[in-house]
Structures are given as C-alpha cells and as structure tokens.
Structure 1
Amino acid sequence: MPDMKYILVTGGVISGVGKGVIASSFGTILKSCGIDVTSIKIDPYINIDAGTFSPYEHGEVYVLDDGGEVDLDLGNYERFLDITLHRDNNITTGKIYQQVIERERRGDYLGKTVQVIPHITDAIQEWVQRVAHIPVTSNNAPPRVCIIELGGTIGDIEGMSFVEAFRQFQFRVKRENFCCAHVSLVPMPKSTGEPKTKPTQSSVRELRGLGLSPDLILCRSEKPINHNVKEKISNFCHVAPEQVICIHDLTSVYHVPLLMEAQGVVQYLNERLILNISMPRPSRFMRKWRNLAKRVDNLRKEVNIALVGKYTKLEDSYASVTKALQHSCIATGCKLNLTYIEAVNLEKQMKIDDPVNYHKAWQDLCKSDGVIVPGGFGQRGMEGKIEACQWCRETQKPMLGICLGLQAAVIEFARNVLGLKGANSTEVDPTCEDKLVIDMPEHHPGNLGGTMRLGKRNTYLEPSIVSQLYKKEVIEERHRHRYEVNPEYTKRLEAAGLKFVGKDDTGTRMEVAIIKDHPYYVTVQFHPEYLSRPLSPSPTFLGLILASLGKLKSYMNRGCRLSPRNQSDVSSDEEDLSVSSISLSDENTIIENGKEENLTTNLKKMNGQVNGNTG
C-alpha cells in the first residue's frame, strides 16, 4: 500500500476563521481527483468529548453513527465529503491524557516518569496514525489522505503539546507524506481600506518558531486581495507566491473548493505529496461543485421558516438544522429565509415581563410559512415550545419537531386535547401529575457525558406520510436524548388523533408522531439533520419545505419525485429528480441554460487576480 499522506490545517490570528470549511474543501478537491480521504479534528480542551458542552460554548454537539458526541466541524467533513466518521476522528486533550494515565496505572511505561514529551506527544502521533487508516466510506476503501484540523490558534497554551507532536510527526512520516496548511486572517480596517498582512506574518513566525513551516498559507479576508498582497506575504513568510491562497467571503461555502482549486491547489498537492494525479484535469473536473454553487446562487423564491429554539443567540447552536433546511431548499429551488425565535419570548409570562419581545416573537411566528422546533435540554423555554406546537396544530401551519420538539408536541396535545392540564416532562417537573415524558434509567446512570441514547438506530415506520417520504419501512437515524414518551399514555393520545407511526425495534419507544388531518405536523425523536447532505436532503426536512411552499401534495402524487423547477436553469428535456437519486455525482447535476460556466478556467486566466464579482 502507498504511504498515508497527511495534511495538517492550523489557524492563526483568531479562531472561527474557517479552518473547518477549508479542511473540508481540501478533501472535496482530492475526492474529485479520485483519492479517498478521511478527516480528524483536534480540539485542545480537556473535556473528553463535546457531550457536556453548552451550545453557547462551541455551537451544536454533532452526533456520529457510533454515538460519538463531537465538534460540529465533523459535520462539515461528513456533509462535504459524504463520509461516515467515528468518535476517534475527534481528538481532545482529555482523551489523550485519559489514555496515557490509564497506561501509567497499568504499568505500561515500566516505571518511567510520565511526561508531556515523549509520552503525551507519542500518544497523539499514534492516535493519528491509527485513525487515519480506518475506512470512512461505504465501500470500506482505505483512505490515502488524512486531513487533520488543529482547533484554536497557534500560540494557545492548550495546543502546545499537539504542535510539538506534529513537529515530531513530520519527521516520523517523512517530508513527502506531510503538508502543513496555515489559515490566517488578513483584516481590512475601514480607516485605511487596505489589507494588513502583519497578523499573518506574526502568526507564521510563531508557527515556524514552534518547528512547523507552512507549505500553504490560506489568507481569509472580507474582500478579494490582489497579487501585490500575495507577493508581500510570500516575501515575509518564506513561501512562493503560488503557495499563498486567497479566500475572500463568498456567497456560499460551496464556492470555497472551487476558489482553492482555481489557484492551483491540486497541482501543488500533487507535487508536494507525490499523489500521482494525472494532469491536466478533465473538463468535467469538479463540475458537480460548480453546478451546486450556481444553483445556490440562483435561488430566487423565498420560503420563510421560523426556528423556535432555546439557544438562538448563537446560530452555530443549530448548525446542522440550518444546513438541513438549506439542503431541502436547494432541492426544491427556493431560498431559505430563516428567522430565529427565542422560545422564552413566546411564553405568556413574557407578555407582562417583556411585551415588546413577546409581540415581536409572535409576529415572526405568524409571518412564517413553516415552523421547526428543534432539540434542547432543560426547563427554560419549554413552555414557549409548547405554545408554538399548539399554534401550529390549531392554525394548520406546517411544523417539524425534533427530539424535544416531539416531547413538547406530545405534552401540548395531552394538555389541550386530552385535558390533562398537569401533563409535563419529568425533566421539567419531576413531580408533575401526568408524566407524559419520562427519563430512560438505563441511559442515565448519573454522569451526564455519554449517558444518553446515542448514535444510529433503527426506526420501524407504519404506512404514513413519513414512510412515503423515506420510501422505506425501516430507517436508520441518529439519536441524542435521555427522555422519551411515556408508553402508558400512547393509546389515549392515538385515540384522540396523535398517531405514533414510528417505533424502535422493541415497539415501546415512540420515534415518530404525526397528526394526519394536518398539512404537515411531523415530530421525530431522532435527529434527521445529522444525515442530511447538500443534494440528498433529509426526507423530513424536505417534507417541511414542500409543505411550507404548498407543494407537498403534488410531490406525494408524483410518487415523491421532484419535478423540474420552473426556472431557466433547467432544460426542458430534463427528467424528474427523485430525492433518493439526487447525489453529487456528475451524472445528476443541473447545468444552467444547458451550458457550463467554468469558474475554474476564468479564475486561472486571471493569474491570481480575483475580482469582486467572482464566485
């Protein structure tokens, strides 16, 4: 087997500069060249995993098939690369130290003094090499390239052991198998109106002082930067001009791989890592991404979706939900107009405490075409979610409830239809009169981290709108919850009109609840957003968007097939697209006006000079 190739992506100046999207874009470009890739995300915090984080800390907690609770960047990798990662693809300082301490307790170090160097750094290197060889595709093909994103910024004290580990690692795997890409911010102060390279120079100087010399410098900026700036960064950072890649703010993240490829990333990686990619690339190269990016840019008709959540102050708290909504909008040819509504503001008490925000929240809810009630934990905002569920049920507004959204819908139905005014969740009120939602003792032994019902599990569907959307009777979706609907109340709920059409393999856990005489009132215990892909949207999200557009009935009548959009970018002879057949393959892309606009060629002609109209 050929040697494993490693691409380390580091960041400088500030965090949140886009390392995750750039790391995913490296993988997208290489996969387009026929090279299987895998990804590793390193988070230098001491937590074992992301499971106990508040969404305000690092955004949402992303859940993998094996139940791993990981950083949201792994969601970027899975969506961009269409791969299935594992819990070990997310490394934390806590995991490394836990492993080393367990070895020390067993006596594996034979009485030696356990230190950061070499024991911690060796553990990091061994972990990376082990995980890099684990297949992440459906055909179990071994990866050839491993893309590693080092979280935080260079110079952070908590990341020092990882930087030192990779300083050693580059010699361990040999230079031709290791490449370092450094992502840095190039700010453009309004007072001067020109890009400033000093932060990048300082960041690269810090990285080189720690023993890692960047092979590629990826400059993030608000606006395109010209060739003179690239030359300046080249002179001060010890790289050739073609090794400086400029990535300005774009209309969508789907343009990032195109912009990187247009600036010679394939050629450089091919030579630097000896990948043996045949050059030049064919004319169809990355056409699927060009078409995807153009489709996103050409969405015109808007659909207004209200998200009633608990953590709306940070949009990353619902990153996968937002992406899943966008995927469905791409498939239906509409533009997402998403409004975040703080659930607390819908509660009756807010009418007294804060009438301005109360009326604003209800106004936003009433203006929406559809509503989504996502998951969450804790008491705060629960009554607001229940209010939203009641309003959607009574006004026939399309709604999708996820996890806590299902539980809120069940409680609301019990209170207002069955007349059980004391109905609640034991999470909110352990002493409530009617315990409609109860905890699962086998998944809640006392510790919070990793004790929920996690990972991919089967759901068995009865004939319903949900089974039609999925076109399956048995589906696999990822879970993350420690409370469930009390089975003692299900018969009474179903008799009153709330049908449980999805259950687990034991038949005792309620997975899907719907109201039949409603345009779209679907609630699920699992998290369908985790398995949604750009051109293979989650069926439940697609149903919500179609219902919000008033097109769900016609979609169902066509056997759950999307008809060509009434837009100029769809040729008249194009066949209907089935949701199950939509993929990122070249064969299923849509080309505007029957022609392909070659963004890559246009950018290459400009010799690195990128203007403001590109992309």
Structure 2
Amino acid sequence: MKYVLVTGGVISGIGKGVIASSIGTILKCCGLRVTAIKIDPYINIDAGTFSPFEHGEVYVLDDGGEVDLDLGNYERFLDVTLHSDNNITTGKIYQSVINRERNGDYLGKTVQVVPHITDAIQDRVQTESLRPVTPDNLEPEVCIIEMGGTIGDIEGMPFVEAFRQFQFRVGRENFFCVHVSLVPQPKSTGEQKSKPTQASVRELRGLGLSPDLIVCRSENPISESVKDKISNFCHVAPQQVISIHDCASIYRVPLLLKQQNVIDIFRDRLQLPIPNPVSRDLMIKWKGLAERHEKLTDETTIALVGKYTQLEDAYASVTKALGHAALATGRKLMLKYIDAEDLEEETLSTNPVKYHEAWKILCGAEGVLVPGGFGKRGMEGKILAANWCRLNNKPYLGICLGFQAAVIEYARNVVGLKNANSTEMDSNTENPVVIDMPEHNPGKMGGTMRLGRRPTVFRNEGGSILKQLYGNKDSVEERHRHRYEVNPQYINELEASGLIFVGKDDTGQRMEALEIREKPFFIAVQFHPEYLSRPLRPSPPYVGLLAAASGQLERFLSDAKAKHAIATGGSSNSDALPEIESNDDLVAMNDLEMELTDCSLFP
C-alpha cells in the first residue's frame, strides 16, 4: 500500500480537497486502485451537528455517515463509494482510546497522546486504507490522505506526530508528502511572495515531515524565479514545485498537475507500476470535460432559494449536481442565490430593497431549486417560492425540505388546509401534513436522522416525468438525510386534489417523490439525489430541471433511450443524458466515448 499525505499551509480553504482528489484522479487513470481518507482535527465525532454557515454542507455517504464535504469531492472525482470511517476526526480517535481505557485494554498504563493517541491514528489509517471502495472488492493500491486545517494548528499536532511516525512504520518508499501552500500576490507590488510558503514548509520540516511535492496555489501561474526560490529555500528540486493557479473549472486541475509531470514524480518516488512514458491521451476524459465546460455559451438561469446562501459551500453538492446537469444539457449555468427570508412579507417592511430584489431574481429565473435545510427560519419563503412556481408554470425542483415545502404549499392553497404546516415549524399546528418520524430520537442530535442510501419504488402507472428521467426503472436508490416525513393521514386528500406521490419507500409508507402532472415540470423528492451525481453521470432530477428550464425536456424524454445508449456506449445502466445539438455533436460524443474507454476513472 502506498500512502500520499496532503497537508496545507498559510491559510485554510486553499483547495487541498481538490488537489487531493486530482492526484487520486491521475493515479486512477494510470490504472491504480485508489481510495481516500479525510482527517478533521475537530473534537466532534462527525460533521452531522455542524451549522452549514460554519463548515459548509454535511455530505452523506451510502452507509449513512455524515462527513466533511471534501469526501464528496473524492467520490465525484474518483467515482468510488466511501464509508463513514473514511472521515477520521479527533473525536472518533479519542472516543476509541477512552473506550479501550475503560475496558482495561492498556493494562493500567498511563494513557497519553504519545504513544496511545498517535498509535490509534496510525492503526485507523492502515485499517481504512485497505477497505475496498469499488465494485470489484479489491484492496486499494494507493490511499490519498488529506489532513484538515493548516500546519501549526494546535489541534492538528497529534496527527502530524502520528504521520511523522507513520512514514517509518510503512517505509519511506511507501509514503509521499504533498504540501499545498498559498503564494500571495499583493496588488500594491504585483509581485508573487514566496515567504509564506517558505515559513510553512520550515514549520512542517521542523515537525518531522519533509514535502516531496510543493503545490503552490496562486491567482496567476507562478513564475520560474519564484519556483526556483521556493526550491532553494524548501529543500526540494525545481520540478517538485508545482503551480496551480485559479482556473475556470476544477476539471482543469488534474490536467495542470499532469502537464507539470507529477506522474513521473509519483512513479519514481513510490516505485509505482506506471508505464514510462505515459499515454498522451491519459487524461482525455478530463480534457473533454474541461473544454466542454468552457465552451458552453447558451445560458440557463436557476434560482436557488435557500437558508444558508451566505456561504456557497453550504450547498456544495447541489451546485456540483447543477453543474453536471448543465454539461449534460449543453447549457452554461447561471446560478442565482436567494435568501428564503427575503421573499417573506416581514422583509418587505424591514428591508423593501432586499424583498424586491429577491422577487426580481425569482421571477427572472428559468428554473427554481429549493434545497434541504433545518429549522423555521426562511420556511415561509420556501413555501412562497413553491407557490409562485406552481401558479406560473415555472420549472420547480424541491429537495428534502423543498419537498416538504411543496406539500405544505399545496395543502394550504389547493386542498384548503389553511393552517397546514410541519411539526418542525409549528408543533401545535391544526393540520400537521409533515410530521417527525417515529424513530427520531429527540434526546440526541447526532446520527438520529434517517440517513444513507435507501430504495424508492415508483408507481406502476405511466406518465411520471421523474420515472422517465430515471430510465423508467421500477425503483432507484438515493441517499437520505431527514427526520421529518409527509403525514400518511393526509396522503389520500392530497392525491385526490392532484398532488401525485410517484415514489414511495420499499414499505409503501413513506412518501419519497411527488409531481403535479398538469404542470410542465413540478417535481420534489425527499431524498438528496445530488450526493450520487457525477460529471458523466449527472443526477436525473437535476438534469430534468435544467432540461425543463432550457426548453429541452420534451426532447430529452422522447430521446431518452437513444441518449442512454450514447452516454454508455450501448449500455442502459447509466442515468446520464448528454445533450446532442447536431450531427456534429453526435459524432463528437461518440468519438469522445470511444477515447474515454481507455481511462478507468468511470468504469
């Protein structure tokens, strides 16, 4: 097993996750089996109780693990299925050590950070690195480990010490350290500054880890003179200093790494079985994605009505899924964020400018997405957005709380249940059309929701747009994260008025998906389809929204069978629906798919 540790310096949020994912992408395209681990040095057991304002979205895995959003990058880039233990936190490590101490496993010894905590970290990494993450169930050959935070953070010290020891446990020939650092370029001088990187690497080396590769993040490509200076002061060869500047698309990052010959560095340093020289067309898939993304010109505007719009990372998977769907439909995504509170009447009295601006964006959008969330704040704004879309035939996609908002809106304004609400918003509502699930445990917050990958069974009757988007399958499996559901007592009344629940869980008791048939595109789902969206296998509900918003839905549905065949090279197992504008596009798509078969990234 080969281990690649990715650390960060100077500031957080410089793209370690994308760099780690891109390295994994390159190695996987070289024919290696790759897995990934994210280390977060916070004491929380997992990310489930985080506020999206503080840490971005909570990403959910198949097994129900609530983890850091970077694991979403790993799954999307590497097309693997990770597990909750692929996210290691300080809380998990200390909890396991304390449990062992309580059980007497340490035979009366004083339990200390070194060696007990550091040993537990190393043991956990080795164990999880061997867990299969692909359908073939073979052990991975390379494990990419991203260490959260920045070098020098006090909470990360046990992990740094653990990896200082780990490099000797596994052998230097099996351990590779990548350090990602910021190279700022102050506008006052216009000169790129290498001093922060020098200081960061000096601190890393002082803690016992020497970088084998220094990735310099910058606004513009760094100059050769800056590369030479970093090489000279950081004790690495010039070719081991890599420049990753701000790109138009994250699909460019693996290409930038390949262009700077990182494959040769990894092969020689870790003695990897990679051909020399590597194929010129090795990254043709990613080149195609990047070029397609950058050449899109026809715009489609989607309004995202949410509660955490101040931080884009709060909806990371949603925006990625929209981007994948935009690629599939041949449209340039113009995403507009609306704070749900700004649509409410109260905002009109307190801040009329915000109120009118929010409604102007909503009315001008070609499609509307209402994503998940928790709590009362902004709920009435989401309900108003659903109401406006229903009355004006605007394409609408509701996810999780957006699904519940659509149910409440319909119950109030069509069924006539004026006080209809969710017990989450009003525990004493006269008409609780959305209620908390029986298994919800109010005594604890973490891990008590309905989590993970679960089946949704479609109704047998025809006419469902959502079922067609999923390739007319009888059932699908998507990931969930919720603790409230539609009240079964109101199902018949809602459906009698025209709200059709086209998908239910495998027991037939829980409502999973709804449609309003007389509307061009009004769909909402209780699950989170964005978690399984991939660049070449976009999420069907998101594709449907983009297709409807750009006037292509009818064509997509009528040509679904042919497009499935094009997307999969003849297979019907993929849900991807690429847009074909002309005969030239058809030839280009077929040529691209033939070229992509050489790359193992998306089997």
* Superposed pair shares fold, TM > 0.5: yes
Displacement of 1:281 in angstroms is 1.1
* 1-structure distance, mates of 2:393, 2:287: 39
3-state secondary structure, aligned to 2:538: coil
Give the equivalent residue in structure 2 for 1:338: 335
Displacement of 1:570 in angstroms is 2.6
1:162 aligns with 2:159: yes
1:533 aligns with 2:567: no
* 1-structure distance, mates of 2:126, 2:597: 30
Give the equivalent residue in structure 2 for 1:465: 465
Give the equivalent residue in structure 1 for 2:302: 305
Displacement of 1:573 in angstroms is 7.3
Q: Is the 8 A contact 1:346 1:362 kept in 2?
A: yes
Between the two proteins, the alignment pairs up a number of residues equal to: 583
1:570 aligns with 2:571: no
Give the equivalent residue in structure 2 for 1:11: 8
* 2-structure distance, mates of 1:223, 1:564: 33
Corresponding letter in the other structure for 1:461: F
Q: 1:240 aligns with which of 237, 241, 248?
A: 237
1:519-545 per-residue CA deviation (whole Å, 9 max, x = no partner) reads 110000000000000111000000000
Corresponding letter in the other structure for 1:120: I
3-state secondary structure, aligned to 1:522: strand
* 2-structure distance, mates of 1:323, 1:179: 30
Corresponding letter in the other structure for 1:467: K
Q: Is the 8 A contact 1:288 1:586 kept in 2?
A: no
Q: 1:507 to 1:583 in 2, by over 3 A?
A: farther
* 2-structure distance, mates of 1:31, 1:318: 27
* 1-structure distance, mates of 2:326, 2:597: 19
* 2-structure distance, mates of 1:549, 1:72: 29
Q: 1:31 aligns with which of 28, 32, 35?
A: 28
* 1-structure distance, mates of 2:578, 2:250: 26
* 1-structure distance, mates of 2:475, 2:206: 55
1:380-404 per-residue CA deviation (whole Å, 9 max, x = no partner) reads 0000000000000000000000000
Give the equivalent residue in structure 1 for 2:559: 558
1:412-432 per-residue CA deviation (whole Å, 9 max, x = no partner) reads 000000111110000000001
Displacement of 1:8 in angstroms is 0.2
Displacement of 1:285 in angstroms is 1.1
Q: Is the 8 A contact 1:564 1:576 kept in 2?
A: no
Give the equivalent residue in structure 2 for 1:500: 501
3-state secondary structure, aligned to 1:148: strand
1:104-158 per-residue CA deviation (whole Å, 9 max, x = no partner) reads 0000000000000000000000000000000111221210000000000000000
Q: 1:505 to 1:179 in 2, by over 3 A?
A: same
* 1-structure distance, mates of 2:524, 2:412: 17
TM-score by length of 1: 0.93
Displacement of 1:568 in angstroms is 9.8
Corresponding letter in the other structure for 1:214: P
Displacement of 1:569 in angstroms is 7.1
Q: Is the 8 A contact 1:461 1:503 kept in 2?
A: yes
1:85 aligns with 2:82: yes
Map 1:124-135; keep pairs closer than 5 Å: 124-135=121-132
Give the equivalent residue in structure 2 for 1:97: 94
3-state secondary structure, aligned to 1:349: helix
3-state secondary structure, aligned to 1:223: coil
Map 1:424-443; keep pairs closer than 5 Å: 424-443=421-440
Corresponding letter in the other structure for 1:543: G
Q: Is the 8 A contact 1:411 1:425 kept in 2?
A: yes
Corresponding letter in the other structure for 2:349: I
* 1-structure distance, mates of 2:253, 2:590: 29
Give the equivalent residue in structure 1 for 2:567: none
Q: 1:342 to 1:573 in 2, by over 3 A?
A: closer
1:296-347 per-residue CA deviation (whole Å, 9 max, x = no partner) reads 1101100000000000000000000000000000111110000000000001
Q: 1:312 to 1:106 in 2, by over 3 A?
A: same
Query: What stretches of structure 1 of length at least 5 have no aligned partner?
Result: 590-615
Q: Is the 8 A contact 2:367 2:545 kept in 1?
A: yes
1:205 aligns with 2:202: yes
* 2-structure distance, mates of 1:569, 1:586: 23
3-state secondary structure, aligned to 2:544: helix
Give the equivalent residue in structure 1 for 2:190: 193
Q: Is the 8 A contact 2:580 2:586 kept in 1?
A: no
Give the equivalent residue in structure 2 for 1:49: 46
* 1-structure distance, mates of 2:588, 2:387: 44
Displacement of 1:467 in angstroms is 1.1
1:213-244 per-residue CA deviation (whole Å, 9 max, x = no partner) reads 11100000001111111100000000000110
Give the equivalent residue in structure 1 for 2:548: 547
Work out the percentage of aligned pairs sharing the same amino acid: 67
Q: Is the 8 A contact 1:563 1:576 kept in 2?
A: no
Q: 1:575 to 1:128 in 2, by over 3 A?
A: closer
3-state secondary structure, aligned to 1:499: strand
